[in-house]
Amino acid sequence: MPLKKGRKISGGKYIKRRKKKSRETAGQKRIVKLGETKRKTKVGLGKTKKTFLLKISSINVNGKKAEIKNVIETPSNRFLARQNIITKGTIVETSLGKVKITNRPTQEAVLNGILIKE
C-alpha cells in the first residue's frame, strides 16, 4: 500500500505549525514572450533588485547578437512553442540559424544561446 503525501503512517494528517508569511508566498508567474524588448525590475528583501524579461526580440549567440524569428520547439512543454513563450532549453529560429537557449530569461535580463548543428 503506497503512502499518501502529507499523511502519517497511521493515516492521520500532518498539521502545519503556521501559515505562510506574505514574503514566502509565490509571486505572479513570469512569462517571456517573443516581441519588442520589455524588462521589469522587482525589489526583494534587503533592497535587492532583480531585473527580468517580459518580452525579447534578440539573443546573444557566441558574442554576436541575432534577431529571433520564431519559436520552433520547447522540450518542457509543447504548448509553449505555439504561444511563442521562451524558456530555458527552447529552440528558436534566428538570423544565424537554430539556437538553443542556455539561461533562464525569467531570472535574468538577457537571453543567451548556442548554435545547434543541423
pLDDT digits (tens, 9 = 90+) for 22-74: 888 888 889 999 999 999 999 988 999 999 999 999 999 999 999 999 999 99
Q: How far is CA 93 from CA 72, 75, 84, 85, 100, in A?
A: 6, 15, 11, 13, 9
Q: Calculate what percentage of the chain has a pLDDT beyond 90.
A: 68
Neighbours of 105 (CB within 10 A): 24
Instruction: Output the CATH code of domain 32-115.
Output: 3.10.290.70
pLDDT at 36: 95
The upper half-sphere exposure of residue 45, i.e. CA atoms within 13 Å in the direction of its Cβ, equals 3
Q: Which cell goes with 60?
A: 546573444
Closest CA to 40 of 48, 26, 30: 30
Q: How far apart are CA 18 and CA 30, in angstroms?
A: 28
Domain coordinates in residue numbering, the chain? 32-115
Tell me what the pLDDT averaged over the chain comes to: 91
**For the whole model, what pTM was predicted?**
0.77
